[in-house]
């Protein structure tokens, strides 16, 4: 399987999974639609929003071998659009009203998702390039002829 296709699939999967976890925690905290704002929810909201902003891009940067910034930005933008559509459907916004009511939220979420996941992809690429190989006798940048044979 193509490494870029794998990275995109894993990145989008992580993005959507984090959105669904966030929605589930929101339903758990405010199941009846109101009430006091629990402390545990405010902490988990911050952590999940930070994770959603960076973790999919980080995974892309670690897995993709080329164009990690572009792929991270694209996955962040697509994930942001999916997030707004998915949460709109889960919260009961009719799709007939969706373009008028949610156009700005969709654009802003897509742009911020693209930016933050591109930063995450750059961080993942940085970490991948500086990670130590699992076999210390094999040098990463050495030519094939210079590497020890198995």
Mean pLDDT across 128-144: 63
pTM: 0.77
pLDDT in tens, 41-86: 888 888 888 998 899 998 888 888 788 888 889 889 999 999 888 8
Which residue do the tokens 């902490």 mark?
43
| The pLDDT of residue 117 is above 60 | yes
| The pLDDT of residue 148 is above 70 | no
| The pLDDT of residue 116 is above 90 | yes
Q: Is the pLDDT higher at 85 or at 135? A: 85
Whole-angstrom CA distances from 23 to 63, 67, 85, 106 are 27, 31, 13, 17
| The pLDDT of residue 28 is above 70 | yes
Which residue do the tokens 């130590």 mark?
132
Rg (Cα) of the chain, in Å, rounded? Answer: 19
Mark out the alpha helices in the chain (DSSP H runs).
3-29, 39-63, 68-91, 98-130
């Amino acid at each position: 399987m193509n490494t870029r296709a794998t990275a995109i699939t894993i990145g989008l999967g992580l993005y959507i999974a984090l959105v669904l976890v966030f929605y589930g925690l929101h339903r758990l905290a405010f199941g009846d639609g109101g009430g006091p704002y629990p402390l545990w929810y405010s902490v988990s909201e911050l952590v999940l929003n930070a994770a959603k902003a960076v973790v999919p891009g980080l995974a892309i940067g670690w897995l993709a071998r080329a164009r990690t910034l572009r792929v991270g930005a694209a996955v962040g933008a697509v994930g942001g659009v999916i997030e707004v559509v998915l949460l709109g459907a889960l919260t009961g916004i009719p799709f007939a009203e969706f373009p008028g009511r949610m156009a700005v939220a969709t654009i802003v979420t897509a742009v911020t998702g693209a930016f933050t996941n591109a930063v995450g992809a750059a961080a993942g690429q940085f970490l991948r390039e500086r990670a130590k190989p699992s076999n210390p006798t094999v040098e990463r940048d050495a030519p094939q002829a210079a590497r020890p044979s198995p």
